[in-house]
Structures are given as C-alpha cells and as structure tokens.
Structure 1
Amino acid sequence: MPLNQYVYFALSSERTTAREMADLLGIEPDEVTVRASRLAEPPRPVCHRWKIVCRAPGLRVDEQVTQILDRLRPHTGRIAELVRRLDPEGECPSAVLEIVRYFNDDECADEADRPDTSQHPNLFGWHLDRDVLDFLSATGAVLDVDEYDLTPDAPEDQSAIG
C-alpha cells in the first residue's frame, strides 16, 4: 500500500508574522504560510504560520518527529515563551505538532518515489515517547494527526442491477 507521510511543528498567529516569530526564536522556518478566510462574510483574520518540517521518505512518523525535535529542543524555552504570547491572539492553540498521512496515495505509486522498505519494513506503526510528550507539554503544543485513505471508490456492482 503506497504511503506518503510527513510531520511538522508549527506556530500560528493572527497578528505575529512568521518573520517576527523567526526573529524572536532565532530559528529560520522550513516553510511559512499566510492564510485568510475563504469566505468574504463573516470577515476572518489572517493566519501566519511558521513551520519546521520533515518530509523524509522511508522514515516512520516517530523518526520524522525525532528529526524535528532534535532541531527544536535547544530552543524549548524560547518556543514556550512565544507560545504563551501567541495563545491569547486567537481561538485555537498557537503550537501544533502535525502528523499527516496519506494511505493508497497514487502520487506515491511511482517506484522511484517509494521508500526502501527493506531497511524500514513497517512505516505504519509509530509511537511518541516520553521526551516528545515532555516537549509538547513544555511548549503548550497540541498533537494533531490527519490520516487520509485515498483508495479510489469501487465501481458500483453492476450485477446487482435488475
């Protein structure tokens, strides 16, 4: 089953830009986004997002998380301080560890894009150890896991018709 997965840690704010977050943390993000509402009414604020991302193929989710947290742990205090400043700016938590997984992803079906499963035979199982949970707790971050099954819909069974 083709599997495409990635992990990121993000800080979000309605007022503080990703550039300002980077300056306060002393960490350049891997990605930034600015998003506004898709609807004109009711008007909604902008969302600035600063991200550290791991898209390395062939790694389990927990290995991708480890790569991200290895970069962030030395800055835990500054991240926690910034999160305390950002949280009152919006309704949602400002810090998130996001895990995104696409099962049966035809975009990943090309043999060249598939990870070498001989060294990592099971990409489906993963866990978060105490160090990860301690980091999430220290920074006030939430965990969000999105999993999508991209299996095409089966054609209707024509033999059942009339």
Structure 2
Amino acid sequence: MPVEQYVYFALSSTHMSAQEMTAVLGVEPDETSVRGSRRAAQPVRPACHRWKVVCREPGLAVDEQIDRVLDRLRPHTGRVAALARQLEEAPGEGGSAVLAVVRYFRAADDSETSAGRTDSDGYRGPDGMDVPHPPNLFGWALQRDAMEFLLATGAVLDVDEYDLTR
C-alpha cells in the first residue's frame, strides 16, 4: 500500500499576517495563507492567516520529516514560543500552533504514483538514487525532543490519515 505523507508546523492567526509572523520570528516560511484570500486554484477562503514550515520530501518516515521541520525551528524555539503565546492570548484571536502529520494511504495498484516512487521497476530515494525497495513508511514515533518543542511552544499534534484505497 503506497503512502504519501507530509509534515508541517504552523502558526495561525485571525489578525497577524504571515508576513508579520516572519518579521517576528526571523524565519522564512515554506508556505503561507492569507485570511479571506481567493485564488483561482484554491477557491477556499482561509479563516486565518497561516505561517508554515513544511517537509514534503518523499521516502522519509514521519519521524524523519518531523526532524527536518523541527531542525529548522529549534534554533528559534524561544521566539516561536513567545509568538505562539502572544497569538493564543490576544483578545478574540484564537491563534494556534500545530505540528501536523498528513498521510494518504493508496491502493497498491493505484494508477497515481505515490510520492518518491518512479514506477514498478524501482524506487527513487530522497537522494535521487534508485533503490530496490521503497522504505517502510508505516509506523512512526514522536521523539522526546519533538515533544519538548511542542510543550515549549504550546503546539498541538494533529494527525490526519486518509484511506484512499477504495
């Protein structure tokens, strides 16, 4: 069963823009959304501004993707924590910090290629080299240092898994 997955850490706010969050944190996000924006490719109107650091690298287990995201953020833990608290405590804000894991499970014969797979003859690893078998992406663990980061920043862990095998 092919698995596609990605991990992100996000700060959300109904009042502070992602640009303002970037200025406070001194860290460039990988993705942002603007509250109430309309885009032709994405007709959904986001309910809040969102600042995100993302790992979509195929072939990595969830815990490896979490490490990639948090490795970028750990040097800035104090600023991330302070901003997360500020967003959470602001009147009418309802800001939030989240570490999200998103996984899609597909049928083995799914015509869509799963992230990192080349075709039936092999697998292309994260370094671009062909390897004989895809890595086992099932199962993962949240390491103590990741939990400490979540605790320090007041972030929640949100795991979304989607069964697309039917």
Query: Normalization by structure 2: what TM-score?
Result: 0.78
Deviation at 1:151, TM superposition (A): 1.3
Q: Which has the larger radius of gyration?
A: 1
Give 1:109 deviation, angstroms: 4.4
1:36-77 CA distance string (max 9 Å, x none): 39xxxxxx9940000000000000000000001110000000
Structure 1: unaligned runs, 5 residues or longer:
38-43, 153-162
TM-superposition CA deviations, 1:80-109 (whole Å, max 9, x none) = 000111013457551000000000064334
C-alpha RMSD over aligned residues: 2.7
- AA aligned opposite 1:145: V
Contact 2:15 2:93 in 1 (8 A): no
Matched residue type, 2:63: D
In structure 2, relative to structure 1, the CA distance for the partners of 1:71 and 1:33 (3 Å cut) is same
* 1:34 CA drift (Å): 2.1
Segments of 4+ moved more than 6 angstroms: none
1:120/1:45 CA distance change after superposition, 3 Å = closer
Q: Which piece of structure 1 moves more, 143-152 or 87-96?
A: 87-96
Q: Percent identity?
A: 63
**What 5-or-longer segments of structure 2 have no aligned partner?**
38-44, 126-130
**Equivalent residue, structure 2, for 1:82:** 83
Q: Secondary structure at the match of 2:141?
A: coil
In the other structure, the counterpart of 1:6 is: 6
Distance 1:98 1:115 in 2: 25
Aligned to 1:112: 118
Change in Cα spacing, 1:85 to 1:4, as seen in structure 2 (3 Å) is same
Bigger share in helix: 1
Whether the aligned pair in 1 keeps the contact of 2:14 and 2:94 (CA below 8 Å) is no
Asked if structure 2 preserves the Cα contact closer than 8 Å seen for 1:93 and 1:141, the reply is no
Greater mean alpha carbon deviation, residues 61-70 or residues 101-110: 101-110
The equivalent position to 2:154 in structure 1, one of 140, 143, 157, is 140
SS at match of 2:140: coil
AA aligned to 1:32 is T
Contact 1:5 1:100 in 2 (8 A): yes
Task: Tell me what 1:158 maps to.
Answer: none
Contact in 1 for aligned 2:87/2:94 (Cα 8 Å): no
The TM-score, its normalising length taken from structure 1, stands at: 0.80
How many residues align? The count is: 147
Question: Would you tell me which structure has more strand in proportion to its own residues?
Answer: 2
Residue identity opposite 1:128 in structure 2:
L
Residue range with higher mean Cα deviation, 110-119 or 12-21? 110-119
Contact 1:15 1:46 in 2 (8 A): no
Deviation at 1:122, TM superposition (A): 1.4
CA contact (8 A) 2:87 2:93 kept: no
